[in-house]
Structure 1
């Protein structure tokens, strides 16, 4: 019971201090500022693998708990910024499995999300250090307001759980069978062009320094577009990435999300293909609006269709429903999401469906 209390208590206590979010920026007489931020995102996770059900109170892998700070230093017309951000090391919904469930605390160096600097001006922006590659987020653009509990990154909700072949565990996990090929964070150098008519191009080269036994070289480029007015909010991205190792890996990803501002109706699509590694398509339809005085309410349904993961000619299908209620005075979002996962191939195996439920709250400061 103690691990559950350790996860829940910080959120309950800190949620009573929403004013804290307005008092975390400090200014030096020189004009430099330091801004601290973070979030606590604890959730109840229930997974049913067709034979057994598993219940946990863990961190929400869709948007994990974290702490960080920005330091901004004005340099004439340009700006020099530094960012440090780390996960808290809490067990995530993406890590639990039939063998590994229950809350614990295990901070590792891979928990370090960002340690970077960026110099920006009219020429664009140059990034250096641990942080996002050019294609990070290019497959996961989502304006539905429900991404915290369900989005194209399906494995984040319960990726460690294995499908059962009959009653026996198959060794094939949700993260094996459902991928979106989105970019990652690496120790990299990256350049972003200035925005031109809503378009921006990014390119990066990086290496993995936080995980062991990875000597590959990573390269990627991405094109992004944004449009916002009183009628529509549109964001889109297209990316190409390749991994230079003993076996070269190439992948193409794209996503777009559009909201009709007057009605709150929105549509999100995503697709990706990895050379010799599978492909997928994803669609989400949703609505966001005001039904109470607390904050925005967002509802959505989505569907994922993938193929050729793990086994040639395999099929990976999933559907989900999501709901998020914002509480503006508390800087908090409460959410609930249900998802069904299906996997099949031509080997004659009888894979049972998996399902997951997430119920939780995310408090930001």
Structure 2
């Protein structure tokens, strides 16, 4: 059983969510002669299943293993992928598939965006984070020493195949980390997400229950609606970065060794505190951030002595304009807004609510 969630582009494509949905990949890439299957070694068996489906559909798969997680999302690995495509003789009518978590699908999409100025690609996200965030929306890219996702391109996939059965391979900590992005969607657009989690936090993490699939679908619908109207992050799409300004800074100073969702959880609490100190958000909604994340056993605090490093890292956030720092905040539940140029005092006051 599966659900198809359309992203209306341009160009339009579908996110297929459910069980046994991998066949949607060769269907979306029909007519390709060669397909590079980019994957992390722990997912070799799944990559082989995707390759077998492509072979049965008449395509010739080329396996391209890459390092797992953020360690593989850099210029060196990108160049190795280009070399693999060049050695296999890839043309503009060929395609790329990314099989892995958000880092792998970000990389695969950027490989596709840059090879011959753009070839088709498909995402097979294998983490909850990848399903509800990274693989949906057409944002592709790599990390550099200067920061996370600063080099990339907007290049929508031909399809996203979110097979819920794959989540069975995830450690509980990775599943919980992915739920941070789901919680974000609850605060910016769909409060029912928050109610479902708060009613039974344990059920929200049960793969065989009814709650987790609903949470996944609801989060994908939030993102699909936003990116359908703003592919290039010119306006509305910035709301999806709620919690990410501080979150990305945490990831950077930890050398991208911390789970993205854990960093975002800390960033969500910070953004809520910032909105309260700016007189924009009520106390109850601010505290709700902390409690719902704690129910999922996600972090809500960070080291007090890290503030100077975090503050410096936030200067190169993608939402910054010139020397003006910009944050996505809330003016109320499901009422995202922007805070431009907050004072240093305000920034530090908000961090005091996160610092330990």
* TM-score class, shorter: under 0.3
TM-score if structure 2 supplies the norm length? 0.27
Whichever structure has more strand as a proportion of its residues is 1
TM-score if structure 1 supplies the norm length? 0.26
Whichever structure has more helix as a proportion of its residues is 2
